[in-house]
Amino acid sequence: MGSCTRLEVLSLANNQISGLPGSLATMRNLTKLNLSHNRIAHIPTCVYSMKGLVFLHLACNRLETIADQIQDLVNLKILIVEGNNIHTLPKTLCFLESLELLNVDFNELQSVPVELYLLNRLGRLACHPLDKGLHIIHNPLLKPIQEVLQGGLSALYNYLKPT
């Protein structure tokens, strides 16, 4: 598949895969990648070479972390990692200035990076799966973050911003 360098959309959802071959790193024209509903424990290294990605769907896998290299996906607008076992988000995620939808629902997040307020394109806390914004429900967030979330995304950003 690595020879399919002009491929723009790839869905490998629902295939019980646990990784991807490094040869897929050559798929530089890929804009949408769906790896949801598999057995992936770590985002495959080759994904971070896919600089043209706008959409990355990794819901319902076995992810526990997101590597700092996520910042290499500078064109990413939609990142869906709901239904995993992620405990923390890397602060490098907050450098993805194009991010419009971040879905981390149903994980094990207890806190969020202070730099989250930098993701100003998220715009709001989202409830409907197709809504743009930050999806962060059903996480064991610690107080006062949980209480702040009741005030909406702007309240969260104001809480996180350095004074």
In a domain, 140, yes or no: yes
Predicted confidence (pLDDT) at residue 2 exceeds the cutoff of 70: no
pLDDT: which is higher, 137 or 18:
18
Residue 83: domain span: 9-160
Confidence at residue 106, expressed as pLDDT on a 0 to 100 scale: 96
CB 155 within 8 A of CB 134: no
In a domain, 4, yes or no: no
Confidence at residue 27, expressed as pLDDT on a 0 to 100 scale: 92
Q: Which CATH number fits the domain that encloses residue 156?
A: 3.80.10.10
Predicted confidence (pLDDT) at residue 122 exceeds the cutoff of 90: yes
- Per the DSSP assignment, residues forming a β-bridge with 80 are 57, 103
Domains of the chain: total = 1
Segments in the chain forming alpha helices (H)? 145-149, 153-160
In a domain, 3, yes or no: no
**For the whole model, what pTM was predicted?**
0.93
In a domain, 1, yes or no: no
Confidence at residue 155, expressed as pLDDT on a 0 to 100 scale: 84
Name the DSSP class of 40: -
In a domain, 45, yes or no: yes
* 3-class DSSP state of 9: strand
